Chain A
Amino acid sequence: MTRQIIAVFKKDLLSEIRTRYAINSLVMFVVITISVILFSVGNESVPADLTGGLFWVVVFFTAMSGLSRVFVTEEERGTTLTLRLLAKPAVIYLGKLLFNNVLIFSMNIVIAILYSAFFDTFVIESKEIFIIAFILGNLGIASASTVLAAIIAKASSKGTLYPVLSFPILLPLILTLINLSKSCISGTSFEESQVSLLILFCYNVMMIAASLLLFDFIWKD
C-alpha cells in the first residue's frame, strides 16, 4: 500500500516537474498577493499583530489557486478511469494528499521567506510555537483542500467554486491560526497555546478521517 501511494505521488510530481503548471502559477500568485498588500500599505508600517493575520490570507488564497490541480488535471486529461482501474480509492487519496502537502509546504516556506523580507514588523517572539502551528496549519489546509479538490473536479464550474466551497470548511482552522500567530508575535508560552495547538491537531485528524471515509463515494460515481 505504501509503495502504491508513493507511486501515485511520484506520478504527480513527475508530471508537475515536466509541465511546471502549478508551480509557476503559484509562485506568481504569491508575488502578486504580497505586492498588492505592499501597494495598499504604502509607506506606512503595518502593526505587528496585523501581519500575522495577513500572512494566513496570503496562504489561503495561494492554496486556493493551486491545490485543486491534482484532481482537475485528471478529469481534463481523461485519466481518471485509468487511475481508478489501477489503485484503490484510499491509495489515490493518500497519494494526492502527499503531493498537495509537498506543494503547500514548499509554497508556504517561500511565502514565509518573502513575507519576512518585506514586512519589517513581522517578527515572531515564540518561534518554536509558530513553527508547530505552521506545520499543523499546512497539514490541515492540505487535507481539507484535497478532498474538496476531488469534489470540484466532478462539478462543471471548477475555477470559481473551489474557494467558495473551501472557505467555510477551512474557517475554524484559519481562525485558530490567526489567533495563534497574533499571540506568537507578541510572545506566548507553550502552556498558553496548548489548547490552540490541540485544536489544529484535532482538525487534521477529523478531516483526514472524514476524507478517507467519503472519498470512495466521490471517486466511484
Chain B
Amino acid sequence: MIWKVFLYFFILAVSIMGIAFPIVENPIHWNEYPYIPALGENAKIIFFHVPTAWLASIAFLMSAYFGIKYLKNKTLVDDIKSYTAAQLGLVFCVLATITGAVWANYTWGKPWSWDPRQTSIFALMLIYGAYFALRSAIEDSEKKAVLSAVYSLIAFVTVPFFVFIIPKMVNSLHPGSAGDPSPIGFKMNPNMKIEFFLSLTAFSILFYWLWSIGYRSLILKEKNNNLL
C-alpha cells in the first residue's frame, strides 16, 4: 500500500516537473531547462517518450529472457511472465510511437516519415502483433508456450539490426543518431538530466508494478482452472 502511494506521488511529481518547468536561454534556477537549438519546447517530450520507448525494449528483452527460462525449465510460470511482459511491451510500444509521432508532427512537420527509428519501432510493434497472433492460434498451453518462446527468441536475433545497424546506415533525423552532430546528453543541463533519470526510474517502477500484478493474476487464473 505504502509503495503504491509513493509511486503515485513519484509519477505525479515527475509529470509536473516535466511539463511545467520552463525552458529558458540561460538556466540559472534549479527549475529551469536549457534551450536546445532546433528542439525548443518540444524537448520536454524526452521525459515521457524515452521512458516508454526504453520500457518497450526492456519488456521485449524480458519476454525473451523468460522465454529462454521456459525452454530450460518448462515451468508454465515463466511462460506467464514472458507473456505479461510482452503484453505490457505492446502498450508501451504504442505509447512510444504516439508520443514520437506527436513530437515529429511539431519538429519535422509531419507525424510519420519512415525515419529509421520509426521503422524500427514499427517492426517492434509488428513482432509483438505476430507474437499474440501466434499465441491465439495454438490451443494446447504447453505447445503455445514453447512455440511463442522460440518465436520471441528468433525475433530477438533481428533486434541488433534495427537498433544498431540500420539507423547508422540510413541518415536519421532522430536526436541522438549518427547524423546528429552533438549527442543529446551534452545539451542537457544537470537539472534536466536529473529530471530525465527520475522519470526513467518512475516509469520503470510503474512497469515492474504492472508486470508483477499482471503475472500474479494470470497465475491465480490458471490455478483456478487447475492447469498449474
Chain A positions within 8 Å of B, measured between CB atoms, are: 144, 147-148, 151, 154-157, 161, 164-165, 167-169, 171-172, 175-176, 179, 195-196, 199, 203, 206-207, 210-211, 214, 217-218, 221
Contact = CB atoms under 8 A, between A and B. Distances in A.
Contacts of B139: 156
Contact of B154 (A154, A196, A210): A210
Looking at chain B's contact residues, the main secondary structure is helix
B119 to A, nearest CB: 7
Interface string B70-107: 01000000000000000000000000000000000000
B155 interface: yes
Contacts of A167: 126, 130
Nearest to A195: B169
Interface string B130-149: 10011001110011001101
B161 interface: yes
Contact of B138 (A147, A156, A196): A156
A217 B137 contact: no
5 contacts: A144-B154, A167-B126, A168-B158, A172-B161, A221-B142
Interface of B: 71, 119, 123, 126-127, 129-130, 133-134, 137-139, 142-143, 146-147, 149-151, 153-155, 157-158, 161-162, 165-166, 169-170
Contacts of B158: 168-169, 171-172
Contacts of A175: 119, 166
A209 B161 CA distance: 16
B94 to A, nearest CB: 16
B133 A168 contact: no
A154 B147 contact: yes
A168 B127 contact: yes
Nearest to A213: B153
A171 B146 contact: no
Nearest to B159: A172
A155 B132 CA distance: 13
B112 to A, nearest CB: 16
B126 A171 contact: yes
Contacts of A144: 154
